[in-house]
Chain A
Amino acid sequence: MSGAGLLGATRAILAKELLLERRAPQTIVAMALFSATTYVIFHFALQRDSIAGNLASGVLWVTVLLAAMLGIGRLFIADRDEGGLDGFLLAPVDRTALLAAKALTLFVFLLVLEAVAVPLFGILLLGPSPGAGGWAGVLLVLVLADLGIAVVGTLVAAIAVRTRSRDLITSILALPLLIPVVIGASRATADVFAATGAGSPGGRWLLVLALYDLVFALLAWALFDFLVED
């Protein structure tokens, strides 16, 4: 299969996913609502009006991770129910196109979610704002973490969609696999949200996130074909 074919197929599937979500917004709306509600829950559960530092970082990443689980759980549902997977398997294109398109879909969903959820976090819960430089650092961490979540989420969703207890498998499989992302991302943004003044995300945490993204991207690339064989 030529590289152009792979690229074209990826683009076609990605366009289909985004069109579906734009015509009948479901997943992203649910993820955004979920994250807003989670902030309210954190406010009452922690009994704090504003949070900073480690705590703020942790609340943000737990919220993003749990909202991402909603997106992961729904990633292949429409394709399985409406026969999209079978249609894709009949098409003479590289299977990797499905992986790339689905991972990009999840990545876009996460970015759109965060475009809502992170400003909301700043308004509702975060203590002192870290300033423009601080937010730029947060954006960098968000992009790196989202890449990891998107790749691992796609892999897990592809496994779980062919099992009977799909939603259970998605959660119990994705959460432990994503623990390194939470470690790296929450450490990276802890200094940015510090009450004493915004620091910058630590370089080694960005490195850990980048390493995680790289390893799982290669793994997903190598293994995805086995998940859509039949």
Chain B
Amino acid sequence: MPTSTRLYGTRLSAWAIATAIVLTAAFALAAFYAPIEADQGFSQKIFYVHVPLAIVTLIGFVYGGICGVQYLRSGDSRHDLRSYTAIHQALIFCLAALITGSIWAKAAWGQWWVWDEPTLVSFLIVFLLYCTYQPLRFSIEDPERQARYAAVFAVVAGAFIPLNFIAVRLADPLIHPRVLSKSGGNLPGEMKLTFYMAIVGMLLLFITLYKYEMTAKHGRAQLRALRRRLGTIDQEAPRGRSAAPSVNPS
């Protein structure tokens, strides 16, 4: 198998720099430019971290599901790798969204967890579901079947998200008045700008981390292929069983 010398992810540094600039600008705007919210005070500013994290989490999970569909349609293992990486990164973002949401609940209501905030509860359930993605992959040895079952999971879980949101939102009538609509529809101009900037920054962070993980996986696969050609690969050391999809360096 010919190994191409083209490196994957050569534009990684450009993405990283863009992320750093936009995210720093967004946080600077949140700290100095956006006005203090009248009802919730300073603690409302965690929204500029929490809500973008939550939105990017959902984008990541949905993208993982779409890649799962593409894998099932084509059988191309690159889609499996994309699906795996997107879900892996989105799970980390989901955890961050839960933690920042918990901090916000503590600041707003004095408790680390509130059950009558339906979006937060939905995120907990979605988080618990996606936590099973890695164990599922890990317990299937055949790589092809692992990819196929993981894709089925990605699609089912992706469709589960909206259903879950409907059920949880209906179950918890809103007791607390929503001073800040999460869609950003009724925000004053300064807040809106900061908020959108934070979303773009967080999305860039997600893309950078996603590309970073993809680059690392491709780099490792290329290194292994080169070693194999040189004949220096240590044959006696078996590749450990892995939840991650294998990459074909080509």
Residues on A lying within 8 angstroms of B by beta carbon are 155, 159, 162-165, 168-169, 172-173, 176-177, 179-180, 183-184, 187, 204-205, 208, 211-212, 215-216, 219, 223, 226-227, 229-230
Contact = CB atoms under 8 A, between A and B. Distances in A.
Interface in B126-140: 128-129, 131-132, 135-136, 139-140
Contacts of A229: 148
Nearest to B68: A223
Interface stretch (B35-43, B156-164, B214-222): B156-164
B156 to A, nearest CB: 6
Contact of B156 (A163, A184, A208, A219): A219
B72 interface: yes
B182 interface: no
A183 B171 contact: yes
B59 interface: no
A179 B140 contact: no
Given A165-B135, A219-B156, 8 more contacts: A159-B136, A169-B132, A180-B166, A180-B167, A183-B168, A183-B170, A208-B166, A226-B148
Interface string B97-137: 00000000000000000000000000001001101100110
Interface residues of B, number: 28
A179 B167 CA distance: 9
Nearest to A173: B132
What's the dominant secondary structure at chain B's contact region?
helix
A159 B140 CA distance: 10
B190 interface: no
A162 B160 contact: no
Contacts of B167: 179-180, 183-184, 208, 212
B127 to A, nearest CB: 9
Most buried by B among A155, A173, A223, A229: A223
Contacts of B155: 219, 223
20 contacts: A159-B152, A162-B140, A164-B140, A164-B141, A169-B139, A176-B128, A176-B129, A177-B156, A180-B164, A180-B166, A180-B167, A183-B167, A205-B170, A208-B166, A215-B159, A215-B163, A223-B152, A226-B149, A227-B152, A230-B145
A176 B159 CA distance: 13
Interface of B: 72, 125, 128-129, 131-132, 135-136, 139-141, 145, 148-149, 151-153, 155-156, 159-160, 163-164, 166-168, 170-171
Nearest to B149: A159
A159 B153 contact: yes
A229 B144 CA distance: 11
A81 B145 CA distance: 19
A55 to B, nearest CB: 16
B244 to A, nearest CB: 16
Contacts of A184: 167
Contacts of A179: 125, 164, 167
A90 to B, nearest CB: 19
Nearest to B162: A215
A6 B140 CA distance: 30
A211 B156 contact: no
Nearest to A225: B72
A212 B171 contact: no
B135 A169 contact: yes
